[in-house]
Amino acid sequence: MDITWYLVLSAMLFAVGVAGVLIRRSPLVILLCLELMLNAGNLALLAFSRSLGNQDGQVFALIVMVIAACEVVVGLGIIVAAYRRRIPLNVDDLRSLRG
């Protein structure tokens, strides 16, 4: 398979993630859509790494995975904290930082 196929698939997955962030209101699903976008980026990184025959892209993908894990942990912590304080879990209502 040509590398172009992987890159186009990665663009498709990224676009699906963007559409999800725009459509959905639940912060949990928005976090899932962020995961979709990060994984699309990972796929592109691995495709370029293969096309250049260089392993640096794979290390980059690994670091992206670490960053994604950090983002998930903090995001889910915020969601749980908001749920405990009876704040509605809807991004349209979560407008002020004061809560």
Partner 1 sequence: MKEVCFFAGAIGALGGAIAVIALRNAFYSVLALIVHLISLAGLFLLLQGEFIAAAQIVVYAGAVMVLYVFVAAYVGNVDEPLWEPIPGQRFIAPLLGIALFVELAIAITGSSLQSIDTQGPSVALGFGSPSAIGKLLLERFLIAFEAASLLLLVAAVGAVVLAGRHRGAVGGEASPQPENGVRVAREASPAAAPPEATS
Judged by CB under 8 A, the chain residues 16 through 55 that form the site for partner 1 are 16-20, 22-26, 28-29, 31-33, 35-36, 39, 42-43, 46-53, 55
Hey, what long-range contacts does 90-97 have (CB within 8 A, 24 or more apart)? 90/25, 90/26, 90/27, 91/25, 91/26, 91/27, 91/30, 92/25, 94/27
Subset of residues 75 to 94 that bind partner 1, contact rule: CB under 8 A: 76-81, 83-86, 89-90, 92
Q: Which of 61, 94, 97, 98 binds partner 1 (CB under 8 A)?
A: 61
Q: Hey, what are 61's tokens?
A: 């993908």
Q: Which of 41, 73, 94, 98 binds partner 1 (CB under 8 A)?
A: 73
Task: Give the shortest CB-87-to-partner 1 separation in angstroms.
Answer: 10
Q: How many CB atoms neighbour CB 81 within 10 A?
A: 11
